[in-house]
Structure formats: C-alpha cells, structure tokens
Amino acid sequence: MGNRLAIVWALLVLAVGVHQIRFWRSARLETDILALLPEDEQAPEVGAATRKLADESGRQLVLLVGAPDWESAQRAAEAATEVLSKAGAPLEPARVDATALDAAVEFYRPYRDRLLTPAQRAWLARATSEELGGTALMKLYQPAGPRLTNWSDDPLGLWPDWWAARAAENEARPRDGRLWLSGEGREWVLLTWQSQVSAFALGDDAKVTAAVERARAAVGAIPGGRLVAAGVPLYAEAAASQASREISTIGLGSLVAVLLLVWLTFRSLRPIVLVGVSLMIGCAVALSVTALLFDRVHLLTLVFGASLVGVAEDYGFHYFAARQGKPAAERGRVMRFLLPGMLLALLTSVLAYLALGLTPFPGLRQMAVFAAAGLVGAFLTVLCWFPTFDLGDLPVTAFAERVSASLSRWPRITSEKRWWPAMAGLLVVSAGGLWRLETRDDIRQLQGAPANLLEDQRELGRLLGLPSPAQLFLVEGEDEEQVLQREVSLKQRLDALVADGVLTGYRAVSDWLPPAAQQRADAELSARAEQQAVAAVAAATGEEPSRARFVNDILTPARFLSSPAAPAIRQQWLGPLGKNQYSVLMLRGIAGPSVLSRLAEAARGLEGVRWVDKTEEISRLLGRYRRIMGGLIVAGYLAVLVTLVARFKREAWRAWVPSVLGTLLTLAFFGWTGEPLQLFTVLGLLLLLGMGVDYGIFLLEHPGDGSAWLAVALAGVSTLLSFGLLGLSATPALRTFGLAMLVGEVTIWILTPCFRMPPGKDIT
C-alpha cells in the first residue's frame, strides 16, 4: 500500500514539475499593492474608473529634465535621451504626432461658434454693442501674425482663448520643438518614454530603473542639472526587486535555519534531504495550485509563501522525532501512530488559512490558497514518501535527548495559590495593553514604495499640475447627453472653489465636448454677439464685412470620440457600464487633505454625481473587514474548541488556552509599543489560531512523550525564524503581519507546555 501511495504521489509531483517549467517561462506576476485590496462591491463603476485611469498610464515613463537656464536644460535633455536610447532597457520614446494639434484644430473648426469658456459666455451675455464693436475693430487692426482663423471666422477672437483654456490643463508648452515649463528656479524639458512590455512583465533586474539612474547621472554632470522621473514601470521594478530580495531572505533564510535544526537534532543527511524535499514540493504545489486558480500571481503571495517554510516542516519534524531510536522496520507503525494528530493539526491549520479566503481581498485569497495547498503538499510528501525512503537507522542524538528531557523541567501551571500572582500580573499587563491599543486603517500605511520614487512623483505632479488619481468625481447618466449636462452642473460649483483657492482647476469631458443644449445656446449667443460686432465694424469702416457660416449639426459624442481631439480626454470617458453611461471629472492642485470635505460637499444634491476619495474609501473598507475578521477570530476559536473537545474531551482546554492567551498578549504588546491594530495584524492573529493549537494537539496526543516535545520545540523555533524574518519585510502590510505572528508564536510556544497534562492522567 505504501509503495502505491509513493508512486501515485510521484506522478502528481512530476505533473507539478512540468507545470512549474511552463509557469516560470511565462510568469504573470502582479506587483500593485492595491491588487491585494477588495473592490468596493457596492460601486463597481468606481473600480472600473480607477482601472481605466491606471491602464492608460501603465507603460508610461515621464521625466522632467531641468537646469538653471533654457540652453542648459536642452543639453541636459539631449544627454538623458542619449543615455535612455542606448541603455538596452525595454524603453522607447513615446510617439508624438506633430500633426495632432493641427488635426484637432481642423476637426473643431466647423463647430467654433459653440465652443465658449465660462468667462467668454458671461462676457458675451453682458457686453454692449459698443464693447463688441471695439473688440472686433481691435482684432481687425492687430499686427499680422499667426492666427487660428481669419478675422471673419472669429471677429471677437474667441477661439484662441478657448484653446488656451484647454492648454492650461497641462503646464508644459511647446518651445523650440520641445515641451517646456518653468518652475522652482529651473527651466524644464518634458520627456515621455514608454515601456515596450507591460509593467507587470518587468522582472527584478530593474533595467528601466538602472537606465533612469544612468540618465540622472548624465543630467547631474551638467551644472545645476536635475532629473525627476515617475511612472508605473519604476514602481513595478522596485516591487519586483524588493520581492526577490525578500523571497531570498525569508525563504532561503528559513530553509537554511530549518535544515540546520534538522542536522543538530538528528545528525543525519537523510532527514535533511527528506525535510528539504517536503518543503520544496510543498512550495511547488502551492504555486501551481495558485497559478491554476488565479489569472496572475501576486509577488507578495510569493513573499508570504516563503514563510510557509516555517510551518510545513512540522510534519517532517514529528515523524523523525518519533522515528529516532527505533529500527527502520517500524517506520510504518510510527507513521500510523502519528497520523491522527498530524491530520488534526493539518485540518486546523488549513482551516485557519482558508478563513482568509472568506474575505473579498484577491491577494489574500491567493495567500490562503497558496498556504493551504503548500501545507497539504508537504503533508502528503511526508505521508507517502517518508516511510518509503527512510530506510536506515536513526540513533538518538545528545541534542535531541537534552531537548526532550527539558519538558520535565518546564513549569506546569496549576490551580495552586503560588500561581495566582503570576496570573494576576498577566491579566494586568494584558488589560493595560488592550486599553492602550489603537486602530488605524489608513491605506497609506501600507505603501511600500521607495521614498525617492514617492518624492519624484510628488515633485513631478507639482510642476506639471497633474490631476490626482485618488480623488475625483464620477458622473453617471442614463445617456451621454445627461452625463455631459451633469458635468456642467458640477463645474459651476467647482468654479467657485477654484476662485477660493481650494483647487487650481479640473479636467472634464464636457470642456472638450459641451452638451448639445449648451452647444445650441452658445451658438446662438456667439452669433448674436458677432453679428453686432460685424455691424459695428461696418459702420465704423464703411466696409461690409460678413460673419462666416457654421454647420448646424451638433457635435455628438460618437463623432468626438473618433476624432483627433479625443485622445486628450478619452481616458476620462468611461462610456457604458451596465445600463448607464459614466465619465470621470479629475481635479488639479488640491490644496491639501483639509479641503477634501469641501470637495465632497460640491457633489451633495447633484443627481448622478459621486465624490470618490479612493484613499478614504479603501481605508474605510480595511476598517470594515478588520472588524469582520475580528469577529471571525472569535468564531474560529469557538469552532476549534468544539473540534478539540470532540477529540480530547475535558482536557481540550489545555490545547486551546495557550492560543487564546497568545492572541491577547500579542494585542497587549501592540498596545504597549504603540503599534496600531490593522487588518493585516488581525489576519496574523487568525493564523495564530490554526498554527498555535497544533502544539497543544501534539502534546495532548502524546502526553509525557519527549519526542513529541522535541518536534514541537523544533517546529516552534523554525516558525519563529520564518515569521521573524517576515517581520523584516520592507512591505508594511507584511511587516505588521510578521510582527503579530512573531510575538504570538513566541508566547504560544512558551505557554503550551505549561498547560500539559499531569503525569498519569488520561485524555478521556
């Protein structure tokens, strides 16, 4: 029977190996921290809007090259361009269509009469015939120069101001064949490059980042030169490099530590090889199952999975600890003897991990599947292969004897009065820490991007006046016309906030595509004003100029979206989502967090207009699921207690209480140290439930058995090493998770033998 199981498992492992080869040849790895977080299930259109905005810039790399004067800035831009062109990175200059502006002007020309800014609309409504005529005469006798239209096509010179308003959405202006802006004591050249591959396909070799740094050095060689760079490719490479380092540190560090423990305990190559094989197969199974169930594997899943090494080796430890000192012929009996406890431990751990799958967090579902599949893979390797390949003798070592014998010297907590002060002190410490415990669910605490990237992003946004992708208005309507009309209503309120300095401006689709009703009204307004102006000019000059004719058709969304002008604003037109149409109005130059409430107030009472503060929404979502998972922990402890009672009857509390105390003391530790309670802290506590109970299960299954304590001791130390290293992660989410696991595991590991059964007592 054993040989057949070994063969079947070998075939499955072979299939996993084949899948691993295919996976790493075409690996699709996710790097965005926000992919760990849930969609707002009550507003899927918000997720669609933010995804579309992100997709538009997914490959883009934006650089500002500055110097104290324009000539030096041009030289610096040439130096940066030369370095990036020769860098060997998957970059290419963004294609700039030199004729795009001319094509957009020609597209709009037939509709010029219905394209007015709010200021123009207000002036035309109140201007007298004398004012209109004077303006028209001034425009007529202006010195000849470049013009968008003939005088007869635009006698009041309205159109240049409309284009100037569109250009104000971006601070960069054409100059000597480049895009230029001035700010913060420098003249700047705007360079736009793009990755030839998806940002999520960039590896951990950081070629794009290296190329940018070489360009930065070349620019720095010019006196006063400075380069500022931002873009998703840089963040993706930083995440990939960080994850690669952490996988090596956590995974390899844990593996080396585990194998060293195995050598110290058993002084045999066979346990090292077999435990190492069980760990590698467990991780391979975990990755294959995750890749088959999910479209893209998140890098943080791999980093989190690296800590699996600290848990999956428990089964091998228990086998070899029980196998020590027994002849090889008894290895099957040893496995059968251990199987009930190992199965119960596997069940509680897998259930704890899979509880993560109850959350709507895509990344956490991946982590749950990865960990649960990895544990099952490691367990099946131990069950199917260890009795088959463990053929030699395994003598008891001096190190193993000392550890096994230490159980008898471990203090045992009883109901005697001498333990009462210690228990009272423990309660006081716990209560004090819990009283000081604070919750903080701000998503910004989970940002793990390098500080230099964040600083460059802020500076570039400040110089270019870029709109914020985190705060925006989502506009909904039954049809396209209603969406545009609702945008106009919203802009009327925002104009007052711009005047108050709450923000510097906004970008709206209706600026480029006015609603039909407004087009008709503006066409009538401009026609009346321009006819008066032309008549005044005729009276003053004695000539008979005439106003140009314009089309009667309305500029429709379908016509606009297929035009050369559409790329400037297309990313903000979401189009149909379900039954309704949607657009996004983006904001520029928000004065600070203190004004967000005033912006939210601007949407109040406007039907179909929703204020979206993605940062605040995600933070609220984190808080909500932190509370849900907290309730799940309580329910989980009750469910585990019921399971333990079914197996251990009245002694079940001995395996259960250490985990409860470990959870309370971990929360107290966070309170005393000022570490805030976050969702990822709670998730760590949830896993403590499954893994911490394992120690008590094995000590109750084999009361007084030194080999069981040896296995528990080794498992505890290796788990501490794994999650201790996870606490060193540069990713805040993993760091707080690892810290919770580290403190909790230490506490549970120390307390569990204190609640072991007295000698001679039976679990029944």
Comparing C-alpha atoms, which of 195, 223, 106, 200 is closest to residue 153?
A: 106
Hey, is 40 helix, strand or coil?
coil
**DSSP secondary-structure letter at 124?**
H
pLDDT at 41: 52
Identity at 609, one-letter amino acid code:
V
DSSP string of 170-208?
Answer: SS-EEETTEEEEEETTEEEEEEEEEESS-GGG--TT-HH
Sign (positive or negative) of CA dihedral 337, 341, 342, 344 = positive
Q: What residues contact residue 760 under an 8 Å CB cut-off, 6+ apart?
A: none
Q: Cα–Cα distance between 685 and 352 in angstroms, integer?
A: 10
| 42 pLDDT higher than 60 | no
Q: Give me the pLDDT at residue 32, please.
A: 61
Do 207 and 88 contact (CB within 8 A), yes or no?
yes
- Residue 177 pLDDT level (bands cut at 50, 70, 90): confident
The span from the CA of 216 to the CA of 136, in Å, is 51
Ordered domains of the chain (ranges, CATH): 1-30+267-396 (no CATH), 419-436+616-705+714-764 (1.20.1640.10)
Q: Which residue has the tokens 């008066």?
A: 532
Burial class (CB in 10 A: 0-12, 13-18, 19+), 227: buried
Which residue would you say has higher pLDDT here, 411 or 32? 411
Q: Of 98, 105, 103, 97, give the one whose Cα is nearest residue 163.
A: 105
- Of 341, 401, 405, nearest to 702 by C-alpha is 341
Q: How far is residue 161 CA from its own chain's centroid?
A: 41
Q: Cα-atom radius of gyration of the chain, to the nearest Å?
A: 34
At 247, is the pLDDT very low, low, confident or very high (cuts 50, 70, 90)?
A: low
704-721 average pLDDT score = 83
Rounded distance, CA 368 to CA 362, Å? 10
Summarize pLDDT for 7-26 with one digit per residue, the tens.
Answer: 899 999 999 999 888 888 77
Query: CA 289, CA 307: separation in Å to the nearest integer?
Result: 17
Candidates 256, 362, 368, 397; CA nearest to 304 is 368
Measuring CA to CA, how many Å separate 132 from each of 80, 155, 527, 550, 618? 50, 9, 12, 20, 52
Q: Show Cβ contacts of residue 546 under 8 Å, excluding neighbours closer than 6 positions.
A: 152, 534
CA distance 194 to 184: 26
Residue 67: phi and psi, rounded to 5, are -155, 165
How far is Cα 95 from Cα 569, in angstroms, rounded to an integer?
A: 17
User: Which has the minimum average pLDDT: 289-298, 306-315, 382-391, 746-755?
Assistant: 306-315
Q: Choose the most confident range, by mean pLDDT, from 279-283, 421-425, 514-518, 679-683.
A: 514-518
| Predicted pLDDT at 552 | 81
Runs of H (alpha helix) within 449-515: 451-464, 480-499, 509-512
Look-up of token digits 């006819």: 531
pLDDT value at residue 451 = 74
The residue type of 121 is R
Torsion angle of the four alpha carbons 380, 383, 389, 392, in this order, in degrees rounded to the nearest 10: 140
Cα dihedral 735, 739, 741, 745 sign: positive
Strands 467-477 and 178-183, sheet pairing: unpaired
C-alpha distance across the termini of the chain, in Å: 32
pLDDT of residue 89: 64
Q: Which residues contact 5 (CB under 8 A, 6 or more apart)?
A: 383, 384
The angle formed by the CA atoms of residues 326, 332 and 335, to the nearest 5 degrees, is 90
pLDDT for residue 202 is more than 50: no
CA separation for the pair 576, 65 (Å, rounded): 40
| Per-residue model confidence (pLDDT) at position 353 | 74
> What is the reported pLDDT for 473?
93
Amino acid at 83: V
CA distance 272 to 261: 9
Instruction: Give 381's pLDDT tier (boundaries 50, 70, 90).
Output: very high
Tens-place pLDDT, residues 627-676 = 888 887 888 888 888 888 888 888 888 889 999 999 999 999 999 998 88
* Three-class DSSP category at 730: coil
458-469 tens-digit pLDDT: 888 778 777 777
pTM, to two decimals? 0.72
pLDDT digits (tens, 9 = 90+) for 46-105: 766 666 666 656 677 888 999 999 999 999 989 998 888 887 667 777 665 556 778 888
Q: Mean per-residue pLDDT for 211-229?
A: 90
pLDDT in tens, 251-296: 677 777 777 878 888 888 888 889 889 988 998 999 999 988 887 8
pLDDT tens by residue, 535-563: 888 888 877 777 777 878 889 999 999 99
pLDDT band (50, 70, 90) for residue 385: very high
Share of the chain above pLDDT 90, in %: 21
630: CB partners within 8 A, 6+ apart: 682
Check pLDDT > 70 for residue 764. Answer: no
d(CA 103, CA 116): 20
Mean pLDDT rounded to a whole number for the chain = 82
The alpha carbon of 630 is separated from its chain's Cα centroid by a whole number of angstroms, namely: 22
Q: Who's near 396: CB < 8 A, 6+ residues apart?
A: 324, 325
**Of 403, 319, 339, 410, which Cα lies nearest the Cα of 756?**
410
Q: What is the pLDDT of residue 147?
A: 65
Q: Kindly state the average pLDDT of the residues 201-221.
A: 79
**Interval 428-440 mean pLDDT:** 89
**Cα–Cα distance measured from residue 465 to residue 161, given in angstroms and rounded to the nearest whole number:** 20
